[in-house]
Amino acid sequence: MSSVVIFGATSAIAQEIARIHASRGDRLFLVARDATNLDALARSLGPRVVGFEAADFNDTRGNGDRVARAVSSLGGIDVAVIAHGWLGDQLESERSFAHAEAVITTNFTSVVSFVIPLVNHLEARGSGSLVVLSSVAGDRGRPRNYTYGAAKGALSTYLQGVRSRLYKTSPSVRIVTIRLGPVDTPMSHDHQKNVLFGEAEAVARSIVRAAERGPEDTYIPWYWNPIMATVRNLPERVFQRFAFLAGR
């Protein structure tokens, strides 16, 4: 039985992750922005949930205290999942710095405000996994989502640094970056779907597996690894000629 905290617990993928852990008999502490959906999720999972809390994650100064309350309620954390994010509006982020700042804060700064205390806890504990949902959008700047992508790219780079810092001193602590491809969820409701879109339940199973074993920097669904290897390495002038890559 593991003790698991999930930040962004009411996202479609995080809810599936929570259900998987609950079905295993794990103990859960859930944190999310939407109090109504959070209460419904906690009720549906029953006694496996030892506590839950609604929070504004962009209140970054309070996130350390939120981690501390999760640690206290669970008696220590074995697995931490950070699953919140926000696409924002790319065009609005080009017109308004305030909107761009909100996208960057949600997808990068607020995540780091959780990562620091969680890593410190796992390092002191000497074991455990921190799983953070990043995005394939961070691998290359694309006109349709480069503000969101820049924040996710910064996040992936930050987690690489954390992993390397802990490599020799805390080898039993796993820092897992999930470079997530598009998934059919409410977050992508206005996107035209295609065969590359993942399904939330299958994606959640893959994320839980990644927390336990395999590469600590992984693409989910798996097929985004070869796709993004190609996209990353295209010369910029070539990249810009392909509307499906560099178009709006």
Assign residue 168 a region: left if phi > 0, alpha if psi is -120 to 50, beta otherwise?
alpha
Nearest to 92 by CA among 15, 40, 145: 145
Active site residues: 148
CA dihedral 135, 142, 93, 219 (to 10 degrees): 0
Mutual angle of helices 97-104 and 146-169, in 10-degree steps? 30
The 3-state secondary structure of the chain reads: CCEEEEECCCCHHHHHHHHHHHHCCCEEEEEECCHHHHHHHHHHHHHHEEEEEECCCCCHHHHHHHHHHHHHHHCCCCEEEECCCCCCCHHHHHHCHHHHHHHHHHHHHHHHHHHHHHHHHHHHHCCEEEEEEEEHHHHCCCCCCHHHHHHHHHHHHHHHHHHHHHHHHCCCEEEEEEEECCEECHHHCCCCCCCCCEEHHHHHHHHHHHHHCCCCEEEECCCHHHHHHHHHHCCHHHHCCCHHHHCC
